[in-house]
Amino acid sequence: MAAAKKAFQIRLPPLPSIKDVIKLYKLRALRELSQNFLMEPRLIDKIVNAAGNIENHVVCEVGPGPGGITRSIIQRGPRKVILIEKDRRFTPSLELIADACKNKVDVDIITGDILKTNIAQYIPEDAKTDWLDSPPPINLIGNLPFSVSTILIIRWLEMISKQEGPWAFGRTRMTLTFQKEVAERMAARILHDQRCRLSVMCQNWCNVNYKFDISGAAFLPKPDVDVGVVTLTPLKHPIIKLPFKLVEKVVRQIFSMRQKYSIRGAQTLFPEDVREEMALRMYKMAEIDPVTRPFQIANMEFARICHAYNEIIKKYPEFEHYDYRAQKVGKKVVVQEV
């Protein structure tokens, strides 16, 4: 039997433990930046292992904080590590790590907000692969701040749909943490009680894999909730091959009345006077039973509904920009003024 290939390891010179780094640099966790530090090396390694083999890869870590995950990434021999951290108090501890591996791994420390950072500018052009090939040697990894994780994943899904940013380099994979409930929603299949807009959106553009849970007790300070680790690999072809904004609108409105028949939510895609007629027409074109509930609709069926909606707005362009939520807010304002 062939011996199993030993994982490549970069040895870092002795560094103070993460606990000591936090003490040394007086890094009191800030609640407003969702700072919960993962202290246990075994769990840190488990997250990085979930990303698969990253030897010679370009790895972008979101929110490295004091650098526990960063150290584990570097030990696996990546070619380049891009660290994006909003809180500049962590710069000295990250520089300590960069210094410890200089001449072995190229480390970029970027002080900035992940929601405003163009990651692509730090990725070498030669890491690019064709979209239909295997994923490129690029990974996004992060124990994400809860405050930005959902906004970030929605934004990244839109970039995936347009093959922009890190996805201009191919089907770049992600290994990320979320609040357990959010992670469950992302992975929830048809009929699952957590199935929601996020499930349909994530699974339309990615293969979503719920890897494992981490108890809140493993973090310092301990958050109120447990954490789920999820990997996402962009699909070669989305299930619903339509623009992101259109899909998002249709799916959002259908899930807006989660416990009711799905056609009730679908009606809110259209102005009040034509609502019932248009929604029924859309469901007929899509061959969906109007009494189906949102969590009972598979992505292939959402595809038929979205295509039917697309046909309707081509025929009646005045419906395209109809926004039920804006109407509701508008109505509320009028009521308040009276």
Binding site for ligand SAM (CB under 6 A): 33-38, 62-65, 68-69, 84-87, 113-115, 143, 145, 148
Q: Which is nearer to ligand SAM, 85 or 158 (CB)?
A: 85
Which is nearest to 247 in space by CA: 293, 182, 282, 197? 197
Q: Which is nearer to ligand SAM, 141 or 286 (CB)?
A: 141
Q: Judge whether 164 is annotated as a binding position.
A: no
Q: Judge whether 113 is annotated as a binding position.
A: yes
Yes or no: say if 254 and 207 are a contact pair by the CB < 8 Å rule: no
Yes or no: say if 123 and 57 are a contact pair by the CB < 8 Å rule: no
Q: Which is nearer to ligand SAM, 222 or 332 (CB)?
A: 222
Distance CA 69, CA 59 (A): 11
Supply the minimum distance, in Å, between the C-beta of residue 106 and ligand SAM: 20
Give the CA dihedral 48, 49, 51, 55, nearest 10 degrees: 90
Supply the minimum distance, in Å, between the C-beta of residue 42 and ligand SAM: 13
C-beta nearest to ligand SAM: residue: 63
Q: Judge whether 226 is annotated as a binding position.
A: no
Q: Which is nearer to ligand SAM, 78 or 145 (CB)?
A: 145
Q: Judge whether 191 is annotated as a binding position.
A: no
- How many Cα neighbours within 13 Å face the side chain of 54? 33
Q: If you write DSSP's letter for every residue of 1-32 in order, what string do you get?
A: -PPPPPPP-PPPPP---HHHHHHHTT-PPPGG
Supply the minimum distance, in Å, between the C-beta of residue 95 and ligand SAM: 15
If you search the block for the tokens 């730090």, which residue do you land on? 122
Binding residues: 36, 38, 63, 85, 113, 143
Binding residues for S-adenosyl-L-methionine: 36, 38, 63, 85, 113, 143
